[in-house]
């Protein structure tokens, strides 16, 4: 059951990040889940660079970290897609 909760967590984080970066119309549920899960990892990595904890569980702070990571990931995708 734990993996199912993390898929939902990643999907919500990816969805919120896609709305913040105005890419929601071009993304589906699978893309939101993938972006959210990778964004959780990226957000945790970014937070560790600042000496803070990353995603620590299913809580609001971890959700914010995941959304930040997913938004950074979508920003990187946007920059790469504009260059090509």
Return the residue matching tokens 């299913």: 58
Q: How confident is the model at residue 56, as a pLDDT?
A: 77
Whole-number average pLDDT of the chain: 86
Question: pLDDT value at position 84?
Answer: 59
DSSP 25: G
The per-residue pLDDT for range 64-78, each reduced to its tens digit, is 989 999 999 999 988
Predicted structure pTM score: 0.85
- For residue 28, what are the CA distances in angstroms to 2, 15, 32, 35, 46? 23, 9, 6, 11, 26
More confident residue, 3 or 32: 32
User: What are the structural domain ranges in the chain?
Assistant: 2-83
């Amino acid at each position: 059951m734990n993996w199912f909760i993390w898929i939902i967590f990643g999907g919500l984080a990816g969805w919120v990040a896609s709305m913040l970066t105005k890419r929601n119309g071009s993304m589906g549920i699978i893309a939101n889940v993938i972006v959210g899960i990778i964004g959780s990892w990226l957000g945790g990595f970014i937070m560790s660079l600042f000496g803070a904890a990353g995603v620590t569980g299913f809580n609001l702070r971890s959700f914010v970290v995941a959304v930040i990571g997913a938004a950074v990931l979508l920003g990187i995708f946007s920059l790469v897609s504009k260059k090509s």
